[in-house]
Structure 1
Amino acid sequence: MGQSQPFRATALIVEDDLAQREMITLLLEESEYDVIACESAEAAELVLNKPGHRIVLLMTDVNLAGRMNGVELAHVAKARHPHINVVVTSGRPLSQPLPGGAKFWNKPWAPLDVLREAEVTLERTPDIG
């Protein structure tokens, strides 16, 4: 019989800027995450609805391609996955409230911020090994 693979945390990155999306993806992959990257909140919502993914971290920009913005996506994610760690980023002040427990980061933020958030999320998530 094969050995079971240890649980790897999954992060969902939602950013319509390709360079930012790729940078965040690379940082999280280097932090031992599986990463699902989406350009729109609608695509991310499909991922959140799909069984089998154990997404522990959502990082989303506010302004995205499509009709739904990142704050709306944060509310959807928290409603469906109450324990998910949510980080919403924008270069502008928020005009909508975030769901409880979600964090807001002003742009520009440093890559080290992503690495720290990834580490904190892993420490708070059981069954990772």
Structure 2
Amino acid sequence: MGQAAMGHPAGDRAARSCRAALVVEDDRNLRDLAAAVLEETDLQVIEADSGEEALQHLRAHAEEIALVFTDVRLPCLIDGVDLARAVSTRWPWIKVVVTSGGLGDRLDHLPAAATYLPKPWRALDVLIAAERAAAAPG
């Protein structure tokens, strides 16, 4: 897949004036669905297909990110739990929503501030989480 910022552009709005949602999911169909749901909010959507790609984007643009929406199971070494823990430690103002379709996906290792949504998640639950993130100071 491509770069983390290859997601869905927000037209002519300058990136600095936007708050964004970073969707981290290796399943293209689920990533597209989550992006489509999040595009209904005031958040710009950025996509990544691995934890490493997400962290690379966060290192450069964390001040723009309001929400990280991530699956637990991701390719490479950094899974969604590791990503949630890194975000909560390094960028505590960023809301984190973690999804998983399987029991025993290290969910007991999630940081207290992370929100868990079981798969299959409902669009309404994603929208509620995104609206909370967009409304939060940051």
Tell me the matched-pair count: 123
Q: Are 1:78 and 2:91 matched, yes or no?
A: no
SS in 1 for 2:39: helix
Checking the alignment, whether the CA contact within 8 Å between 1:10 and 1:53 is kept in structure 2 is no
How many angstroms apart in 2 are the aligned matches of 1:103 and 1:25? Answer: 18
Task: List runs of 5+ in structure 1 lacking aligned partners.
Answer: none
Please identify runs of 4+ aligned residues in structure 1 that moved more than 4 A.
Answer: none
Post-superposition offset of 1:42: 0.5
Matches within 5 A, 1:111-126: 111-125=123-137
Q: Is the aligned partner of 1:107 residue 2:116?
A: no
- What aligned pairs does 1:10-29 form with structure 2 within 5 A after superposition? 10-29=20-39
**Aligned-pair distance for 1:35?**
1.2
Match of 1:30 in 2: 40
Identity of aligned residues (%): 38
Do residues 89 (structure 1) and 89 (structure 2) align?
Answer: no
Q: Cα RMSD between the aligned structures?
A: 1.9
SS in 2 for 1:101: coil
CA distance in structure 2 between the aligned counterparts of 1:105 and 1:29, rounded to whole angstroms: 19
TM-score if structure 2 supplies the norm length?
A: 0.81
Task: Kindly state the Cα deviation for residue 115 of structure 1 after the two structures are TM-superposed.
Answer: 1.0
The one-letter code of the counterpart of 1:34 is Q
1:39 to 38, 43, 49: 49
Distance 1:12-1:52 versus aligned 2 partners, 3 A rule: closer
- Cα distance in 2 for residues equivalent to 1:85 and 1:51: 15
Gaps spanning 5+ residues in structure 2: where? 1-12
Query: Which structure's residues are more often helix, by fraction?
Result: 2
Partners of 1:9 and 1:28 lie apart in 2 by: 12
TM-score, normalization: structure 1? 0.86
- Once the two structures are superposed, residues 51-90 of structure 1 have per-residue CA deviations (whole angstroms, 9 ceiling, x without a partner) of 4741110010000111111000111111111111001110
